[in-house]
């Protein structure tokens, strides 16, 4: 290793000795000026005692120099002689800047340990190509912002991918997935039947994973591909409601049918329900997926007809009757009416929770339970 070119910084007391010589003062003279004993001053001049803020003010008056000058001398000397920091500090800072490491440890996605172990785990978790390069996988995700993908949302996508690799499904068939849509549609009458969804998707070669979002993340679902023939649907059930589930699921299925997300990074659209931002621009890809999802839940033509006939007075009886006619749970009709009416409180009792039916029938991570998965 080449010798360092850094010149060692002398203790501030050495500077004081040089200044005394320049002025023709003795140590006793300076002690007199400062109002201190020679013994007190000796420890300062020998470097055994540092310059405190009080002493800096005294020396400033004595030598007619700003006190900060002496504090700077002391700070530079102290910094030079400070212990070398643990290299792990820089590594942990680098990792935390990329991903919410602490929260990931709490959730059991990675294990706490030495910095080198954390870095190795994160390289594997994030599918990194090498030690300092974290890849961005291609995915089509439903979330709030178009202009960025925050780290806690990317971490969520990586977790979906990680868990999906633990699953075994049949070979993917686009035709089989299309043919499964009527069977999936028949389950919409009863929330408990949602438990059958993961198995139906697996028969088509689609992996289905449920992962709780990290704090602050706003993401409903994701369509991602492990390779060109291995699609994955990840859902967060952020809005744990029957209408939201079916809309998001059908939306992600359409992404798969269209082959979205194989090559493009961050094909993103709005949240459903209360998170839907009226007036935001939609890409053609997202518009296709949204239209497919809405029509799957309730035929747009029939929904338009019902709305025009009953608007502005929608009785509970009317809603239940129309839902029965459409062969869906009333909560699905309620969800569409809420968006049209911009009244998210309307008949909310029918928007029943569904997560409890999913966590026992598919790979599910979160809500107090962590899945062990290989990195």
- Please report the pLDDT score of residue 324 as a whole number: 95
**What is the rounded distance in angstroms from the CA atom of residue 16 to the CA atom of residue 41?**
11
**155 and 236 share one domain:** yes
Cis peptide bond upstream of 312, omega within 30: yes
pLDDT-flagged residues of the chain (< 70): 1-6, 129-148, 264-282
Q: Which two tokens stand for residue 139?
A: 């995915």
Give the phi and the psi of residue 34 in degrees, each rounded to 5: -80, -15
**149 and 238 share one domain:** yes
Give the phi and the psi of residue 224 in degrees, each rounded to 5: -135, 165
Q: Between the CA of residue 85 and those of 3, 81, 82, 217, what are the distances in Å? A: 20, 12, 9, 34
**124 and 202 share one domain:** no
**What is the rounded distance in angstroms from the CA atom of residue 52 to the CA atom of residue 71?**
7
Query: Does a structural domain hold residue 4?
Result: no
DSSP-derived pairing of the beta strands 265-269 and 231-235: unpaired
- Please report the pLDDT score of residue 142 as a whole number: 55
**What is the rounded distance in angstroms from the CA atom of residue 130 to the CA atom of residue 237?**
33
Total count of domains within the chain: 3
DSSP-derived pairing of the beta strands 139-143 and 363-365: unpaired
User: Is 45:17 a contact under the CB 8 Å cutoff?
Assistant: yes
Q: For 245-255, how does the pLDDT look when each residue is reduced to its tens digit (9 = 90+)?
A: 999 999 999 99
Model's pTM, two decimal places?
0.80
User: Is 246:296 a contact under the CB 8 Å cutoff?
Assistant: yes
Q: Which domain holds residue 254?
A: 136-297+352-365
- Please report the pLDDT score of residue 340 as a whole number: 86
User: Is 20:13 a contact under the CB 8 Å cutoff?
Assistant: no
CATH number at residue 65: 1.10.260.40
**118 and 147 share one domain:** no
For CA atoms 306, 309, 310, 311, the dihedral sign is: positive
User: Is 336:351 a contact under the CB 8 Å cutoff?
Assistant: no
């Amino acid at each position: 290793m080449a010798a360092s070119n850094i010149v060692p910084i002398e203790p501030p007391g050495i500077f004081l000795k040089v200044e005394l010589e320049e002025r023709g003062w003795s140590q006793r003279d300076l002690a007199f000026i400062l109002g201190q004993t020679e013994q007190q001053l000796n420890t300062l001049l020998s470097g055994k005692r540092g310059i405190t803020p009080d002493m800096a003010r005294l020396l400033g008056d004595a030598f007619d120099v700003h006190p900060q000058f002496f504090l700077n001398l002391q700070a530079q000397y102290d910094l030079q002689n400070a212990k070398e920091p643990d290299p792990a500090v820089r590594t942990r800072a680098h990792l935390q800047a990329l991903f919410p490491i602490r929260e990931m440890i709490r959730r059991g996605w990675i294990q706490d340990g030495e910095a080198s172990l954390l870095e190795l785990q994160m390289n594997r978790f994030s599918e990194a190509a090498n030690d300092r390069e974290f890849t961005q996988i291609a995915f089509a995700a439903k979330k709030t912002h178009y202009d960025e993908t925050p780290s806690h949302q990317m971490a969520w996508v990586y977790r979906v991918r990680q868990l999906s690799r633990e699953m075994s499904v049949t070979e993917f068939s686009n035709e089989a997935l299309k043919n499964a849509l009527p069977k999936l549609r028949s389950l919409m009458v009863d929330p408990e039947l949602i438990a059958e969804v993961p198995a139906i998707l697996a028969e088509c070669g689609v992996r289905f994973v449920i992962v709780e979002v990290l704090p602050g993340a706003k993401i409903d679902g994701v369509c991602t591909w492990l390779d060109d023939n291995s699609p994955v649907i990840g859902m967060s059930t952020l809005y744990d409601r029957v209408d939201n589930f079916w809309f998001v699921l059908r939306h992600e299925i359409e992404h798969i049918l269209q082959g979205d997300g194989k090559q493009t990074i961050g094909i993103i659209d709005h949240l459903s329900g209360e998170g839907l931002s009226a007036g935001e621009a939609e890409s053609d890809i997202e518009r296709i997926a949204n239209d497919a999802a809405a029509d799957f839940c309730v035929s747009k033509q029939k929904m338009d007809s019902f709305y025009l006939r009953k608007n502005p007075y929608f009785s509970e009886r009317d809603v239940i009757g129309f839902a029965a006619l459409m062969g869906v749970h009333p909560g699905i009709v309620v969800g569409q009416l809420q968006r049209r009416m911009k009244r998210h409180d309307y008949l909310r009792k029918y928007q029943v929770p569904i997560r409890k039916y999913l966590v026992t029938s598919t790979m599910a991570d979160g809500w107090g339970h962590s899945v062990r998965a290989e990195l």
